């Protein structure tokens, strides 16, 4: 931008410098300038408008970015008499009120012929003439209306050149276009008359004219006479044309249209257009309004009603139907919610009752666990008294105590079993069983009772019965419960019959008695929990209502049935049905190995006292100069004291009150046998047994689990970690004595067998080692030779032994159930344990020798494997030599 002063002849340049920010011209490409007082307005081609104050030399910017312009491409610029500035851009006309700083924008939607403006001229009436890329617009600032002119109005062209405009002193205006120059004096030869009439001419549906009064025609008369037009909802496109009666200058007529109900603003139709089209109108009532006028003349106005009918599902009667449905639905919802709330309250009540019952059951279960320990201290001494007492009267009294103690134990077992059933912890463990032998073993417990009560007890088993798959423990409990009830309610001189046969594809067990019987309407209720038949017998013979409920749940788990047979015979007949084959069993429910036939009797106590005729063999013969060592690990002092009292004459007793102390005592004393409880603080019996069996120094010591936990799953868990025997509380003291004695004898025989062989025999055995034994010896030799290497890896061992990593992994897993990494770690730990016990080395030296990368890592691994720290292990094992020698001498003797 160049500013030249004619008086001084000096020139000043206003330049854009991209290194500066602010207070400069927006661009060096200038399209338009205008002066208003001491302000210079500069329109650039790409950057907007700058207002330059020629007194202060400051700039103010107007751009699209600061919201003051519609576009930054400035093509024309003109100031008016009020100091405002009209700016023509590539996208609309902009007006800046210099007094307020407010801006206003005009586009084609406001009536402008075209948004791309080429020039602006203000005539003597203060009206604007605006040339565009399509047509010439006249704007009256007072009325705010645009009037557009095209070639049909006498223009030489519709497209005008940018910046090509001029106004002479006489007021004549010139605009340059692509085909020449258009020039005129404003408002000369304008029509001095208005339009006389405005009519609707045609209605089009999908661009096809509608002919009035034709069959199925929408119009009954011409559209101009129609008061309203009714269209169906499926007509998505229609047009209405109209015309003003102007014959001199028809193209000068300005039409405006508005559809009330659809749009609020008037739309100015393009020059020469006299048709409006609407698409996708929603059902409803609309009013089409049309206005027409010549420039600077009054407007004519017409309107017509248009009704879009709704579809049948939106008609008024359909809406009434919906309203009725809504009312009915609301009422039904109210009733449903009311019912749901009542049901929820009922369910909540049942849930609360169930929670109370579960709490009671949990309480009974907890109490039951506690009852088993004192029962042990009652039943075991009573059994001893029964055997040792010669007085018949006193012996009979002891038997009564024993019988009632076993009744309490039976009830405790039922409560605990029922609780486990509720929690889903009872699993089926079926095995192939000779049903004949199984039934005979059960009825032995009842023969004595039948003799005492003078009740006939008959057994009928069909010949040639096949072996069946049953869970012996669960079926034992079911038959035991039913027989117990039969003996309970059958009077003296009555009859009880147990029969076994085949009915269709089921094994049927029928237990019939001649007791008081069960009414027909109560025969199903007797299987409900805690339910008892309300009769005189139950007032005298109190029960719990648990046995039959437990029996049904056990039979459901067994995929069988138990029910009361429907007959009119006196007494009651219970029927037990079991599937004959094993097709109903899952693979995990089958037990392929046969269990001890007396398994059930370890849990299901007899209803008669146990008469033991077995004489206890002395634990020590006359040749033994010392008593065998026996370690008792029990947190209950009374049980511990009782076992000590009974076994101390025959054994050297050591005691520990928890698993942790028991493990330490085992390592220190190396007892000949261990008796341990399971539930103990700090370390339980299962974990202690696992640690003992993993330690080479103690793995040979037999462990007897003595606990109140009686479930087969819990016994299996104990046997898995290496327990040699599992005896539930209350226990038979003779059983315990013989079990201890036999375990110690077996270990002694094994020791003598392997220590008494000559070197010749050992060499012979060595020469007959299998390939797998040779492989393990070679592997152990390799690991021990490279044990000190902290980076000893499976790859190194694979190369040394001549196998690939995967082959070594498979072979070692098959032989030892360990992967190579675990084998290396366990070998290191066992060697470290040997060094701690036998060598005078520090822990850090042993950690280094066995190849552990750090002392902390060694300590953590050792404690995890042996259950104690290396320092504690060393303290226990490094016994003074003199003491050790004396013990070794005693052992040899």
Q: How confident is the model at residue 202 (pLDDT cuts 50, 70, 90)?
A: very high
What's the pLDDT score for residue 766? 46
What's the pLDDT score for residue 282? 92
Whether residue 882 has pLDDT greater than 50: no
pLDDT tens per residue across span 219-254: 888 899 998 999 999 999 999 999 987 777 777 788
Whether residue 416 has pLDDT greater than 90: no
Whether residue 616 has pLDDT greater than 80: no
**Pair 186, 178: CB distance under 8 Å:** no
Q: Which residues pair with 573 in a beta bridge?
A: 512
**Pair 77, 87: CB distance under 8 Å:** yes
What's the pLDDT score for residue 324? 94
CA distance linking residue 290 with residue 242, whole number of Å:
8
CA 394 to centroid of chain Cα atoms: 65
Whether residue 717 has pLDDT greater than 80: no
Q: How confident is the model at residue 804 (pLDDT cuts 50, 70, 90)?
A: confident
Q: Is 105 helix (H, G, I), strand (E, B) or coil?
A: strand
Whether residue 369 has pLDDT greater than 80: no
pTM of the model: 0.37
CA distance linking residue 738 with residue 23, whole number of Å:
111
Q: Taking Cα atoms as reference points, which of 836, 887, 845 lies closest to residue 695?
A: 836
Whether residue 841 has pLDDT greater than 80: yes
Whether residue 545 has pLDDT greater than 90: no
Q: How confident is the model at residue 874 (pLDDT cuts 50, 70, 90)?
A: confident
Most confident of 143-157, 398-412, 545-559, 652-666: 652-666
What's the pLDDT score for residue 747? 81
Mean pLDDT to the nearest integer, 363-383: 73
Q: What is the dihedral of CA 377, 379, 381, 385, to 10 degrees?
A: 160
- Looking from the CA of 156 toward its CB, the CA atoms found within 13 Å total 13
Mean pLDDT to the nearest integer, 567-588: 86
CA distance linking residue 254 with residue 512, whole number of Å:
111
pLDDT tens per residue across span 474-512: 888 899 889 988 888 888 889 999 999 998 888 999 999
Mean pLDDT to the nearest integer, 442-447: 82
Q: Taking Cα atoms as reference points, which of 801, 777, 869 lies closest to residue 829?
A: 869
Whether residue 862 has pLDDT greater than 60: yes
Query: Lowest-pLDDT range, 9-13, 652-656, 703-707, 801-805?
Result: 801-805
What's the pLDDT score for residue 703? 92
Q: How confident is the model at residue 288 (pLDDT cuts 50, 70, 90)?
A: very high
Q: Taking Cα atoms as reference points, which of 407, 389, 408, 409 lies closest to residue 398?
A: 389
Q: Taking Cα atoms as reference points, which of 438, 420, 602 lies closest to residue 509?
A: 438
What's the pLDDT score for residue 754? 52
What's the pLDDT score for residue 594? 55
pLDDT tens per residue across span 820-840: 888 888 888 888 888 888 878
Mean pLDDT to the nearest integer, 665-679: 89
What's the pLDDT score for residue 76? 93
The share of the chain scoring above pLDDT 90, in percent, equals 25
Whether residue 121 has pLDDT greater than 70: yes
What's the pLDDT score for residue 357? 72
More confident residue, 608 or 230: 230
Q: How confident is the model at residue 542 (pLDDT cuts 50, 70, 90)?
A: very low
What's the pLDDT score for residue 762? 42
Mean pLDDT to the nearest integer, 44-61: 89
Q: Is 418 helix (H, G, I), strand (E, B) or coil?
A: helix
What's the pLDDT score for residue 782? 84
pLDDT tens per residue across span 161-184: 998 999 998 889 999 999 999 988
And the tokens for 765?
Answer: 């055995």
What's the pLDDT score for residue 623? 40
Mean pLDDT to the nearest integer, 142-165: 86
CA distance linking residue 89 with residue 211, whole number of Å:
48
More confident residue, 609 or 196: 196
- Looking from the CA of 751 toward its CB, the CA atoms found within 13 Å total 11
CA distance linking residue 468 with residue 475, whole number of Å:
12
Q: Taking Cα atoms as reference points, which of 166, 56, 169, 52 lies closest to residue 119?
A: 166
**Pair 701, 673: CB distance under 8 Å:** yes
- Work out the number of other CB atoms within 10 angstroms of the CB of residue 269: 18
Q: What is the DSSP letter of 423?
A: T
Most confident of 551-555, 561-565, 761-765: 561-565
What's the pLDDT score for residue 401? 80
What's the pLDDT score for residue 619? 39
Q: How confident is the model at residue 883 (pLDDT cuts 50, 70, 90)?
A: very low
Query: Lowest-pLDDT range, 183-187, 219-223, 406-410, 608-612?
Result: 608-612
What's the pLDDT score for residue 302? 93
Whether residue 543 has pLDDT greater than 80: no
Q: How confident is the model at residue 366 (pLDDT cuts 50, 70, 90)?
A: low
What's the pLDDT score for residue 451? 86
What's the pLDDT score for residue 376? 74
Let me know how long the chain is.
893
Whether residue 612 has pLDDT greater than 50: no
More confident residue, 386 or 256: 256
Whether residue 817 has pLDDT greater than 90: no
Query: Lowest-pLDDT range, 22-26, 314-318, 526-530, 757-761?
Result: 757-761
What's the pLDDT score for residue 28? 87
CA distance linking residue 493 with residue 498, whole number of Å:
17
Give the C-alpha distances (Å, rounded to integers) separating 539 from 403, 552, 759. Answer: 21, 24, 77
The share of the chain scoring above pLDDT 70, in percent, equals 86
What's the pLDDT score for residue 645? 85
Mean pLDDT to the nearest integer, 682-688: 88
**Pair 160, 118: CB distance under 8 Å:** yes
And the tokens for 479?
Answer: 């038959």
And the tokens for 92?
Answer: 């609309």
More confident residue, 839 or 273: 273
More confident residue, 251 or 561: 561
652-656 sheet: strands from edge to edge: 652-656, 629-633, 673-676, 703-707, 725-728
**Pair 285, 307: CB distance under 8 Å:** yes
And the tokens for 245?
Answer: 């009666």
Whether residue 118 has pLDDT greater than 90: yes
What's the pLDDT score for residue 106? 93
């Amino acid at each position: 931008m160049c500013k030249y002063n004619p008086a001084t002849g000096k020139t000043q340049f206003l330049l854009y410098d991209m290194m500066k920010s602010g207070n400069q011209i927006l661009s060096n490409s200038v399209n338009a300038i205008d002066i208003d007082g001491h302000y210079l307005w500069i329109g650039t081609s790409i950057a907007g408008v700058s207002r330059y104050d020629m007194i202060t030399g400051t700039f103010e910017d107007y751009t699209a970015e600061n919201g003051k312009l519609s576009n930054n491409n400035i093509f024309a610029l003109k100031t008016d008499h009020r100091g405002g500035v009209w700016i023509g851009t590539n996208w609309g006309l902009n007006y800046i009120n210099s007094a307020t700083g407010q801006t206003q924008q005009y586009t084609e939607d406001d009536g402008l012929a075209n948004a791309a403006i080429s020039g602006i001229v203000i005539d003597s009436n203060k009206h604007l003439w605006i040339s565009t890329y399509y047509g010439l617009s006249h704007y009256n600032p007072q009325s705010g209306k645009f009037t557009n002119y095209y070639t049909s109005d006498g223009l030489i062209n519709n497209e005008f050149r940018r910046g090509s405009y001029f106004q002479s002193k006489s007021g004549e205006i010139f605009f340059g276009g692509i085909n020449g120059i258009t020039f005129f004096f404003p408002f000369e030869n304008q029509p001095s008359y208005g339009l006389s009439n405005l009519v609707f001419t045609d209605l089009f549906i999908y661009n096809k004219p509608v002919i009035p009064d034709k069959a199925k025609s929408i119009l009954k008369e011409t559209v101009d006479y129609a008061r309203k037009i009714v269209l169906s909802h499926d007509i998505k496109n229609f047009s209405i044309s109209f015309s003003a009666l102007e014959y001199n200058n028809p193209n000068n007529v300005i039409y405006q249209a508005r559809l009330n109900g659809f749009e609020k603003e008037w739309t100015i139709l393009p020059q020469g257009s006299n048709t409006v089209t609407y698409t996708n109108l929603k059902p409803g009532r609309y009013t089409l309004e049309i206005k027409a006028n010549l420039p600077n003349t009054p407007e004519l106005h017409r309107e017509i009603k248009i009704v879009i009918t709704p579809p049948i599902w939106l008609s008024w009667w359909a809406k009434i139907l919906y309203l009725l449905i809504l009312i009915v639905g609301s009422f039904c919802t109210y009733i449903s919610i009311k019912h749901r709330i009542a049901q929820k309250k009922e369910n909540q009540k049942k849930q609360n009752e169930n929670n109370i019952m579960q709490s009671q059951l949990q309480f009974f279960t907890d109490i039951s666990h506690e009852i088993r320990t004192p029962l042990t201290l009652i039943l075991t001494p009573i059994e001893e008294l029964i055997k040792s007492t010669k007085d018949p009267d006193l012996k009979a009294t002891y038997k009564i105590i024993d019988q009632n103690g076993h009744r309490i134990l039976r009830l405790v077992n039922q409560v605990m079993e029922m609780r486990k059933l509720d929690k889903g912890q009872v699993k089926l463990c079926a095995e192939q069983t000779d049903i004949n032998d199984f039934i005979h073993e059960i009825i032995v417990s009842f023969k004595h009772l039948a003799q005492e009560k003078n009740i006939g007890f008959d057994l009928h088993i069909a010949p040639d019965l096949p072996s069946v798959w049953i869970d012996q423990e669960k079926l034992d409990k079911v038959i035991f419960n039913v027989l117990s009830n039969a003996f309970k309610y059958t009077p003296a001189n009555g009859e009880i019959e147990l029969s076994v046969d085949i009915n269709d594809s089921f094994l049927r067990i029928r237990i019939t008695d001649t007791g008081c019987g069960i009414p027909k309407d109560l025969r199903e209720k007797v299987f409900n929990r805690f339910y008892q038949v309300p009769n005189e017998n139950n007032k005298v013979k109190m029960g719990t209502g648990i046995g039959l409920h437990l029996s049904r749940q056990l039979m459901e788990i067994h995929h069988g049935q138990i029910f009361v047979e429907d007959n009119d015979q006196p007494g009651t007949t219970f029927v037990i049905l079991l599937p004959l084959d094993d097709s109903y069993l899952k693979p995990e429910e089958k037990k392929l190995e046969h269990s001890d036939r007396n398994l059930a009797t370890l849990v299901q106590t007899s209803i008669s006292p146990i008469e033991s005729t077995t004489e206890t063999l002395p634990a020590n013969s006359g040749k033994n100069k010392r008593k065998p060592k026996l370690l008792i690990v029990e947190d209950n002092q009374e049980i511990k004291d009782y076992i000590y009292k009974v076994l101390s004459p025959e054994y050297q007793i050591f005691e520990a009150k928890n698993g942790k102390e028991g493990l330490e005592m085992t390592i220190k004393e190396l007892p000949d046998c261990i008796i341990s409880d399971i539930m103990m603080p700090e370390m339980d019996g299962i974990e202690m047994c696992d640690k003992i069996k993993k330690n080479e120094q103690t793995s040979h010591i037999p462990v007897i689990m003595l606990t109140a936990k009686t479930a087969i799953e819990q016994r299996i868990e104990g046997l898995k970690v290496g327990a040699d025997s599992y005896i539930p509380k209350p226990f038979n003291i003779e059983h315990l004595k013989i079990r201890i004695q036999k375990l110690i004898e077996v270990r002694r025989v094994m020791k003598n067998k392997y220590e008494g062989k000559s070197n010749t025999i050992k060499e012979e055995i060595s020469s007959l080692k299998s390939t797998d034994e040779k492989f393990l010896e070679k592997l152990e030799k390799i690991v021990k030779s490279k044990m000190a290497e902290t980076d000893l890896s499976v790859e190194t061992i694979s190369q040394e032994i001549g196998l690939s990593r995967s082959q070594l992994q498979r072979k070692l897993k098959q032989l030892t159930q360990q992967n190579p990494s675990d084998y290396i770690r366990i070998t290191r730990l066992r060697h470290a344990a040997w060094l701690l016990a036998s060598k005078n080395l520090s822990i850090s030296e042993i950690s280094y020798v066995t190849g552990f990368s750090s002392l902390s890592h060694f300590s953590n691994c050792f404690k995890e494997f042996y259950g104690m720290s290396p320092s504690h292990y060393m303290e226990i094992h490094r016994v003074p030599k003199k003491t050790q020698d004396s013990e070794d001498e005693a052992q040899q003797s």
